[in-house]
Structure 1
Amino acid sequence: MKQRLQIAVSLLLGALGLIGCRKDLCYNHDEHSPSVKVHAVASWELEWERTYHPEGKPTDVQGWEELWHDAFRYAYDDLRPEPATGIRAIAYGADGYYSEANLPSEGGRLPLREGLHEVLLYNNDTEYIVFDSLKASTSAVATTRSVTRSSLAELHSGERTMNQPDQLYGYYQEECIGEKTLEKVELPVTLRPLTYTYLIRYEFSKGLEYVALARGALAGMAEKVYLNDGHTDGSAATLLFDCDLTDFGADVRMQSFGVPNYPGDHYTRADGTPAYYTLNLEVRLTNGKMLSYDFDVTDQVNVQPRGGVITVSGIEVSDEDGTEGGGGFDVSVDGWGEYEDIELPLN
């Protein structure tokens, strides 16, 4: 009996010992032990244009912020993008190490291990952006989806037509060292725009009262952008967009990656020929008739490779076109029809 009592007491004491040990267990051991704790602290650069300084010219060239005037329907700051709602973080390390993490817009812990890394950040809340070749920082690229418009004649030979990209930001750091520490290490990062806005204005001199709908396209713009440094190569595409009717005609805030081959000699295209840019306007009149206009805007785009204002004027709709036919066009319905999305692999 005495032996049984001793065994029972021993078992009880052992159980109490186990309970005491369990009470001290750490359920977030990584936070309280040496580990790589690099946390990005994000800020957002909210610019919609980059002032172009031609080589050999004074560096105090004014941007649109200084030249803005009341004729525009928007204040300059109305064109600024909003901060993104989330971040995709990619770490590239030795021996092919690759790791991703999604972070909130204010930043967070980077997916690093010990050693030297490259770090690439971009916003993960885009809708139309298509990413490719992310396994290496030098090849990581963004473009957007191809679409077609049956009524649009080809403006530039061989260019694909595509959606304008939604807002894209990026940040790249070539060297980021991961070291095991007990305390969090903060890394300030600024995500800068990789897409830019063009305010495009179509000014009518006659016949605006006949116009029910307007849409357009801009040919010759960059097809893609590289995430590590924001450069574009020589590939060009035509961007499609819908317009708002105004008291002077029509306008649109169109987003793009800027011009091809920039930074660099952005007066040339992929094949080395001089760059040129064509702006299209397509209108559907109240009688249902469609008209199309093309404009050479090369001079305007060349001095605004990353956002700005493009204006074409003197557009006319004749009374003959505006009054032709007896039927009316119902502007309460979508008279354009749907865009057709085309999934195309990137090169």
Structure 2
Amino acid sequence: MTRTPIYYIVVVMTVVLGMSSCIEPPLHLPGQNLDFVMPQVETEMDVVWDVDVDMETDWYYGWDLKDDSIWGYIGYERPSSYEVHRYYKGDDPKAKHTTDEAFSIRGNRFRRYFQFGYYDMLFYSDIDSKDGTQVLVMHEELDSVTATTTGTRGISRSIVDRSRANDKDGSSAIGLLNQPEIFFGAYPENIFISHDLADYEYDPVENVYIKHLETKLRPLVYIYLVQFILYNNEDGKIKGINGNAALSSMASSTNVNTGHTGNKPALIYFNTRMKKGLTVKGRKSDVIGGKLTTFGLCDNEPYTRSGAKYMGSRAALRNFLYYDLVWKDGQVKTYEFDVTDQCRAQAHGGILTVWVDCDKLTPPDPVNQGTGSLFIPTVEDYDEVFWEIEI
């Protein structure tokens, strides 16, 4: 599993046109001005991968072909196409965006004519939804783009209420949301296209002047691998699972330009599988596992090499994993486990582990059979989600 930053080299290539005479580049002195016709600029994205999660020491569930067929590749995959937004600001680098030129590109190269002056550019990768049911939603404004997801329908409101009760600052989860698809973004600002050849590097092969910029293509959705280690279950008191699980107090949105996550918490629903009879630290155990994608923790900065821990201000928010277990008599009960410290130590993805001693589990209430799971819906029990996008 690869957790990045993903570095992304942007090469701006300016083609010199309309020169009054042919002058060899060595004769151009630094700072000398020439008259250009509209320059042609090319951006070229080079994705560099690094930073791996230790899959040998900390991950016990494994990842077989069936897992791959259900949830896909366990890590981040290289994007193949992008949406590009180009904002021209004229001669003022502090100017607000007044126009938005949007383009779709395949591959890692973008070539268009640019006017002289300042530009901001927003790149984000297209979503490759295998079943065609994309849940990621882009709310586009001139100065920022915010990513959210659709709400999960058919899940009981009671699990949302339980999550709200666990938030000590009284924050209210806006609902239970689908996992966002993985995508990446970069936002280089104040790209200056000048008349001055001293700002460029000459390429004698292509007979063009090239301006090199460097920015970072960041993952805007992070991967958590979640595992529940069930031990002392030799008598089979826990016979299985129904696959339902959710992680609370995760960000319900992210700013695509900056990578900073929103401060409205939500539960993120995900599915799990059980593998029986595995050996974990020399002990026979049943292991429940799954892959969760999320925008990350609320009010948190994007991933950097030096800042991988939680940097947000929502200190009172607690992260709980909710999961269903099926007892040998067929009854289902939802359990919870506080993973706040694990999430903050791995604020941009990683492995979350819950150790479950089956001898200490409180069984379902035998009087109220069939009501133990918080994931069982009724028609009138849907939770409405209202978005308030902060620009």
Q: Aligned pair 1:144/2:149, yes or no?
A: yes
Aligned residues: 287
Question: CA 1:105/1:344 → structure 2, altered by over 3 Å: closer, same or farther?
Answer: farther
Q: How does 1:271-290 map to 2 (within 5 A)?
A: 274-284=316-326, 289-290=331-332
- Matches of 2:346 and 2:62 in 1, distance apart? 20
Indicate how the Cα distance of structure 1 residues 146 and 171 shifts in structure 2: closer, same or farther if over 3 A, else same: same
1:158 to 153, 172, 185: 172
* Residue correspondence of structure 1 range 304-323 to structure 2 within 5 A: 304-316=346-358
The answer for the alignment partner of 1:168 in structure 2 is: 183
Q: How does 1:159-238 map to 2 (within 5 A)?
A: 159-160=173-174, 161-178=176-193, 183=208, 190-205=216-231, 206=233, 207=236, 210-238=239-267
Residue 135 of structure 1 corresponds to 142
What does the per-residue CA deviation read over 1:106-127, in whole Å, with 9 as the maximum and x for residues that have no partner? 2222574432110110012252
Aligned equivalent of 2:122? 120
Output the TM-score relative to the length of structure 1.
Answer: 0.69
Q: Which amino acid aligns with 1:171?
A: A
Q: 2: distance between equivalents of 1:261 and 1:189?
A: 22
Residue 24 of structure 1 is matched in structure 2 by: none
Report deviation, 1:301. Answer: 1.3
- Other structure's SS at 1:306 match: coil
> Partner of 1:19 in structure 2?
none
Tell whether the 8 Å contact from 1:131 to 1:140 is kept in structure 2 after alignment. Answer: yes
C-alpha change, 1:166 and 1:316, in structure 2 (3 Å) is same
In the TM superposition, residue 31 of structure 1 has moved relative to its aligned partner by: 12
Tell me how far apart the structure 1 counterparts of residues 335 and 113 of structure 2 sit (CA, whole Å).
51
Matched, 1:44 2:82: no
| Cα deviation code 1:140-175 (max 9, x no counterpart) | 221211114126353125212111111110111112
Question: Which position in structure 1 is the counterpart of 2:333?
Answer: 291
Decide whether the 8 Å contact of 2:249 with 2:267 is kept in 1.
yes
Structure 1 counterpart of 2:89, from 80, 94, 99: 94
C-alpha separation in 2, matches of 1:125 and 1:31: 36
Q: 1:174 aligns to what SS in structure 2? A: coil
RMSD: 3.9
| Bigger fraction of residues in helix | 1
8 Å CA contact 2:149–2:178 kept in 1: the answer is yes
1:240 alignment partner, one of 266, 269, 290:
269
Q: Give unpaired runs (5+ residues) of structure 1.
A: 1-29, 50-62, 325-334
Conserved in 1, the CA contact under 8 Å of 2:322 and 2:336?
A: yes
CA distance in 2 between counterparts of 1:89 and 1:103 reads 8
Q: Given the superposition, is the C-alpha separation of residues 305 and 280 from structure 1 closer, same or farther in structure 2, using an over 3 Å criterion?
A: same
Local SS of the residue matching 2:141: coil
Distance 1:45 1:294, change over 3 A: farther
Gap change, CA 1:222 and 1:111, over 3 Å in 2: farther
- In structure 1, distance between residues paired with 2:237 and 2:53: 27
In structure 2, what is the Cα distance between the partners aligned to 1:190 and 1:118? 14
1:218 is displaced (CA, Å) by 0.4
The C-alpha deviation readout for 1:159-217, integer Å capped at 9, x for no partner, is 12111111110111112234699958576665221111111111112247611422200
- Aligned position for 2:288: 250
CA distance in 2 between partners of 1:241 and 1:296 (Å): 17
Question: 1:310 deviation in Å?
Answer: 0.9
Per the TM alignment, residue 230 of structure 1 is displaced from its structure 2 partner at its CA by: 1.1
Q: Where does the alignment leave 5 or more consecutive residues of structure 2 unmatched?
A: 1-14, 19-36, 65-72, 91-97, 129-133, 165-170, 198-206, 277-285, 302-308, 367-375
Counting aligned pairs with the same residue, the percent is: 20
Whether the 8 Å contact between 1:45 and 1:190 is mirrored in structure 2 is no
Q: Which residue identity lines up with residue 185 of structure 2 in the other structure?
A: G
Partner-residue secondary structure (3-state), 2:103: strand
Q: Which residue of 1 aligns with 2:11?
A: none
SS at match of 1:305: coil
**Higher deviation after alignment, 81-90 or 102-111:** 102-111
2:5 maps to what in 1? Answer: none
**Residues 129 and 70 of structure 1: CA distance in aligned 2, closer, same or farther (over 3 Å):** closer
- Who is 2:298 aligned against? 260
Shift in Å at residue 130 of structure 1? Answer: 1.1
> Residues 40 and 186 of structure 1 are in contact (CA less than 8 Å); yes or no, is this contact kept in structure 2?
no
Alpha-carbon distance in structure 2 between the residues aligned to 1:254 and 1:208: 27
SS state of the match for residue 204, structure 1? strand
